[in-house]
């Protein structure tokens, strides 16, 4: 799913976008295109829309629809909901900044981003990623201490949102 040759004009010929709701609807009837309801389908937490035999993420189409050009970087959903494509919930950001607004991973066992149990040491370990590099913050007897150190590092490093890892 990449930026293909569709233009803003071509997009507006086939889809209507409501910036206040983030919903795309078809303007023209076609195979699998009911004129009522939302265009596309949800897969892997994002709405995808197929136009001219090419599949696009709806948030990238929203950017093109409103601004007339493809986003230069990643599109970040500010509130963390990948299907909330309201234009005021979208921002064009670097991959690194987009990661700083990421939710806690589904396989996180400690419940705290950047904190894990180090079995061999018998302690809680804390880490943070800075400029694409993992930085070890230390090992601690208490999960609360590891979490505190990780949180402090996020504040000092800056750029992490309050929602990061929640």
Asked if residue 23 and residue 79 are part of one domain, the reply reads: yes
Indicate the number of domains in the chain: 2
Asked if residue 12 and residue 89 are part of one domain, the reply reads: yes
Burial of 51 (0-12, 13-18, 19+ CB in 10 A): buried
Asked if residue 153 and residue 75 are part of one domain, the reply reads: no
Whether residue 157 is predicted with pLDDT greater than 60 in this model: the reply is: yes
In-domain check, residue 163 = no
Listed in sequence order, the DSSP H helices in 3-142 are 8-14, 58-67, 95-99
In-domain check, residue 164 = no
Asked if residue 41 and residue 122 are part of one domain, the reply reads: no
Contact 76, 91 (CB under 8 A): yes
pLDDT tens track for 8-36: 999 999 999 999 999 999 997 777 677 77
Nearest alpha-carbon partner for 75 in 2, 5, 143: 2
More confident residue, 149 or 3: 149
Tokens describing residue 51: 């136009």
Asked if residue 92 and residue 15 are part of one domain, the reply reads: yes
In-domain check, residue 165 = no
Residue bearing tokens 């983030």: 22
In-domain check, residue 73 = yes
In-domain check, residue 68 = yes
With cut-offs at 50, 70 and 90, classify the pLDDT of residue 67.
very high
Whether residue 97 is predicted with pLDDT greater than 60 in this model: the reply is: yes
Asked if residue 119 and residue 135 are part of one domain, the reply reads: yes
- The pLDDT > 90 percentage for the chain reads 46
Backbone angles phi, psi at 161, to 5 degrees: -85, 165
Whether residue 163 is predicted with pLDDT greater than 70 in this model: the reply is: no
In which domain, by residue range, is 115 found?
100-157
């Amino acid at each position: 799913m990449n930026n293909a040759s569709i233009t803003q004009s071509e997009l507006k010929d086939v889809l209507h976008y409501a910036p206040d709701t983030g919903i795309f609807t078809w303007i023209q009837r076609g195979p699998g295109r009911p004129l009522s309801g939302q265009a596309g389908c949800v897969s892997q937490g994002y709405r995808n829309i197929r136009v001219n035999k090419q599949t696009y993420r709806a948030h990238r189409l929203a950017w093109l629809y409103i601004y007339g050009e493809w986003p230069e970087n990643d599109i970040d959903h500010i509130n963390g909901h990948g299907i909330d494509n309201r234009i005021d919930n979208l921002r064009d950001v670097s991959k690194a900044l987009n990661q700083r607004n990421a939710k806690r991973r589904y396989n996180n066992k400690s419940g705290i981003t950047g904190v894990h149990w180090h079995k061999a040491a018998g302690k809680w370990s804390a880490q943070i990623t800075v400029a694409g590099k993992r930085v070890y913050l230390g090992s601690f007897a208490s999960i609360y201490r590891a979490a505190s150190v990780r949180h402090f590092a996020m504040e000092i490093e800056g750029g992490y949102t309050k929602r990061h890892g929640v």
